[in-house]
Structure 1
Amino acid sequence: MSSTPIVAYRLTRLAFERDRTIGDSQVRATSVQLVAVELIDAKGNVGLGFAQSLFTPLPDSAEIDRIFAAEAWPGLEGRHPAALAIAVRRVRGGNVRRMGLPFEESLQHAIWDLFAKQSGLPLWRMLGAERSAVGVYASGLDYHLSDHDFSELFGNARERGFLGYKIKVGHPDLERDVHRLDLLRKAVGSDRPVMIDANEAWTAQETIQALRRFERAGHSIYWLEDPIPRDDFDGLKMLRRLGVSRINAGEYLDLTGKRKLVEARACDMLNVHGQVSDVMRAGWLANEANVEVTLGNTFLEIGVNMALALPGVRWLEYSFQNFDHLVDEPYAMADGLIHGREAPGHGLVLSADARARGGALPNATSAAA
């Protein structure tokens, strides 16, 4: 299939309640605020992405369309998805800024989806993957859950065959973190890796104290994620030298920050997620430095495509969010593995029910065409 330009778009505003409160030691969220972004080429192929506003309500549909038309569409209209996907741009001065709404990641997903569809390939195959499945660990986003709900969530994860478990830590009372690790062991046993994520709650010295306390309580931590502020490379290097747990970092850094983190040898694992181009570039940098890559949360597990393509990735994060109803068919997972889709593109299609409930902007396609 030959490449054809992008000629139209369609936006669908979606809002609904989460099935549980999610969050960590710094934030919490109880509702979902989304825009489904569909880019349409001259032959009618559609590329899909989702823009998520985690903590701020989205404006009404008309304002969403105004922002998209003013800030995103001029760089998309008439352009070929292939050219947009692989372009390297000179980033300088005033053009280094965020859009008024968080469209960046959704655009990369939609562009790469459309690019792969035009190529007639599943996205993971187009990215060079030589395997069709990758391991999955269960991530609770569980900091604000009651002990009962925490135990239920991870007990269910055990029954579904996840290969490891990650919980949120960083409570002001360290004994509460110990208690949660105790509850996790009761719910899932002790035969699979346990990871913890502090979301930058600690200093380096507090991290050392926490790890030693967990050791005394009989808990072996497979990796420790983002224990201290993202740019404290000296602190991260000190924690690496201790060797008490693998240091997984980089989630909060952009591509430039990830490069500096790897060059500083300040992590055992580089955490990537989100934008396809940036993930692949970060993965290449990590591979050059022989640093393992972990694939963090991505919307509807779209990151499986990059996880399959990057040879150093052994894990994909799965966090039990009630998003599956948004698409016709989510990615399949069984026996601790998640599988790529064989359909061209990333394989996710906005469901008719989601479109009807959200209400696609009726004039977006005609206005953009």
Structure 2
Amino acid sequence: MTRDTIVTADVSHVILPLNRPISDAKVMTGRQRPMTEISLTFVELETREGHRGMGFGYVLRAGGKAQYAHALELAPFVIGEDPNDIPKLWDKLAWQSASVDRSGVAVQAIAAFDTALWDMKARRADLSLAKLLGSYRDAVPTYNTSGGYFGTPIEEVCANADRSIAKGIQGVKMKVGQPDLKEDIRRVTALRNHLGEDVPIMIDANQQWDRDTAMRFGRAVDSLNLTWIEEPVGAHDHEGHAWLNARLDTPIATGEMLSSTRELQQLIDNRSVAFIQPDAPRIGGVTPFMQLVPRAADAGIKLAPHFVMEIHLHLAATFPTEPWVEHFEWLEPLFEERIDIRDGCLQVPTRPGLGLTLSDQARHWTVAHDTVSGH
């Protein structure tokens, strides 16, 4: 039997505008400007037999043009290849990018191809991606982040939390890390008092503290029964996270800013976290993410992937202990489908693959597109 091969790779650059500027602690401390849009690179693959798959990567702030340009460079290397050879193709694309390392923009461009290949494989099997990979559950607990950013008065944060819970979302996350530590503590305490003891609350400092400041904050809020404190120190400070994780009652979470499984493995090896937060589009896609899953599970570390619930819901469903998935509605306009929320959980789609179809609006927001094809 003649094997199927990839004949077309469509690569698109999409700029998704946000409804309002978004600010976290990095803006409050002057390190970044408010975020007004999200840059995405979409890859759509088609084979000689007509099978299709779609994947994407994203960039917050600078780097989107570089990600798209690198994806265009990689596209010719999948033409003529068997789409079932996913690890082989990941390695092939990584070797093309060897001089710019297996991290950062290089692997983030690969992620769009890798995810498209997995989406195609699951579609061919008429299974959701979660079922293809081997899922433990059909629904995953979720918490909302978009309602707790800076620039939002605490009264509005509380109202946003109420709306999230009314939608069936289980927990909420609020941003901290502003220069005034007392104001952070005041806001967190107000949210806990508003929601009561039973609603899970996560706190995210976005790397804005040194170790001593993080310790002071952690000790001040240890009695508030927080689910975790996220990124209290620099993303690459594995030792600092481990030091805090060993000394605070509140669990520590981090990992979203790391762009390779090698860096995430250091968090596991150092016991730096109670919750590890890998981001599949940032570390190279489904393939490296699924390599990390058993390592974290074996170490007794819990899973809470960062952003992109549209992909991470499927991957989190394969984790042996109950994970968390972050709810953001930001990417919803890009797709025709919606993820169901019920009883505090995101319901894993039963549609084949990722279960996603690009919307007409996504096509409207496309600022660049190219097709690479072969025979």
TM-score by length of 1: 0.86
Alpha-carbon deviation of 1:140?
2.7
**Are residues 1:140 and 2:149 paired?**
no
Does 2:316 match 1:303?
no
Determine if contact 1:24/1:141 at 8 Å carries over to the other structure.
Answer: no
Quote the residue 1:333 is aligned against.
341
1:112 to 107, 114, 118: 118
Aligned mate of 1:73, from 72, 75, 84 = 75
Does the 8 A contact of 2:22 with 2:35 survive in 1? yes
CA distance in 1, matches of 2:85, 2:208: 41
Letter in 1 for 2:5: P
Q: How far is 1:177 from its partner?
A: 0.9
Q: Which of the numbers 347, 351, 355 marks the counterpart of 1:347?
A: 355
Secondary structure in 2 matching 1:309: coil
CA 1:260–1:3 in 2, change beyond 3 Å: closer, same or farther?
Answer: farther
2:303 counterpart residue number: 293
In structure 2, the residue matched to 1:45 is 51
Check 1:250–1:150 CA distance in 2 against 1; reply closer, same or farther (3 A cut).
Answer: same
CA displacement at 1:17 relative to structure 2: 2.3
C-alpha RMSD over aligned residues: 2.9
1:121 aligns with 2:127: yes
Contact 1:141–1:168, Cα closer than 8 Å, also in 2: no
Aligned to 1:5: 5
Which amino acid is the alignment partner of residue 182 of structure 2? E
Look up the match of 1:276.
286
SS of 2:36's partner is strand
Is the 2:25–2:205 Cα contact (8 Å) retained in structure 1? Answer: yes
Tell whether the 8 Å contact from 1:141 to 1:319 is kept in structure 2 after alignment. no
Cα displacement (A) at 1:331: 1.8
* Secondary structure of 1:331's aligned partner: coil
Deviation, 1:229, is 1.6
Distance in 2 of aligned mates of 1:142 and 1:285: 32
Q: What is the Cα deviation at residue 81 of structure 1?
A: 2.3
Aligned residue for 1:82, secondary structure, equals: coil
Answering whether residue 213 of structure 2 is matched by residue 206 of structure 1, we say yes
Q: How far apart are residue 153 of structure 1 and its match? A: 2.2
Query: Residue 268 of structure 2: which of 250, 262, 269 is its match?
Result: 262
* Paired amino acid for 1:281: Q
The one-letter amino acid of 2:80's match is: G
**Rounded Cα–Cα distance in structure 1 between residues aligned with 2:196 and 2:304:** 23
Aligned pairs (5 A) from 1:53-202: 53-56=59-62, 67-69=70-72, 71-85=73-87, 89=91, 94=99, 96=101, 98-99=104-105, 102-140=108-146, 142-147=148-153, 148-185=155-192, 187-202=194-209
Q: Is the Cα contact below 8 Å between 1:10 and 1:360 reproduced in 2?
A: no
| Cα distance change on mapping 1:289 and 1:65 into 2, 3 Å | closer
Contact 2:143 2:171 (C-alpha < 8 Å) held by counterparts: yes
Corresponding residue for residue 250 of structure 1: 255
Q: Which moved more, 1:256-265 or 1:177-186?
A: 177-186
SS in 2 for 1:317: strand
Distance 2:364 2:209 in 1: 45
Counterpart code for 2:91: R
Counterpart residue number, 1:229: 234
Matches of 1:191 and 1:235, distance apart in 2? 29
Deviation at 1:231, TM superposition (A): 3.1
Post-superposition shift, 1:87? 5.8
SS of the residue corresponding to residue 230 of structure 1 reads coil
Aligned counterpart, 1:219: 224
Name the CA distance, whole Å, in 1 between partners of 2:341 and 2:360. 23
Task: Tell me by how many angstroms 1:42 deviates.
Answer: 1.6
Distance 1:206 1:271 in 2: 22
Rounded to whole Å, the distance in 1 between the matches of 2:107 and 2:238 is 31
SS of equivalent residue, structure 1 residue 229: coil
Partner of 2:29: none
Structure 1 unmatched runs, 5+: none
Superposed displacement of residue 83, structure 1? 0.8
Give the secondary-structure state (helix, strand or coil) at the position aligned to 2:314: helix
- Kindly state the Cα deviation for residue 339 of structure 1 after the two structures are TM-superposed: 1.4
* TM-score of the pair, normalised by structure 2: 0.85
Q: Against the structure 1 CA distance between its residues 23 and 114, is the aligned structure 2 distance closer, same or farther, given a 3 Å change threshold? A: farther
Structure 1 residues 36 and 248: CA distance shift in structure 2, 3 A: same
1:354 to 1:261, Cα distance in 2 relative to 1, 3 A = closer
Separation in 1, partners of 2:3, 2:319: 25
Contact preservation (8 Å) 2:13, 2:41: yes
SS in 1 for 2:277: strand
Aligned partners of 1:101, 1:33: CA distance in 2, in Å?
16
Structure 2 unaligned regions, length at least 5: 27-31
Which segment is superposed worse, 120-129 or 101-110?
Answer: 101-110
C-alpha distance after superposition, 1:83-141 (max 9, x if no partner): 12466739785262555795233222212101212233211001111321111111137
